[in-house]
Amino acid sequence: MNENHCPQCDNELQWQGHYHCMQCDVDFKKVAFCPDCDSQLEKLQACGAANYFCHSESCNELKSKSRVRFEFQKQA
The one among 27, 40, 59, 68 contacting Zn ion by CB under 5 A: 59
DSSP 8-state assignment for residue 41? P
Give dist(CA 38, CA 45) in Å, integer.
21
Nearer to Zn ion, 45 or 61 (CB): 61
Neighbours of 4 (CB within 10 A): 14
Nearer to Zn ion, 59 or 68 (CB): 59
DSSP 8-state assignment for residue 26? E
Site residues, Zn ion (CB under 5 A):
6, 8-9, 11, 21, 23-24, 34, 36-37, 39, 54, 56, 59
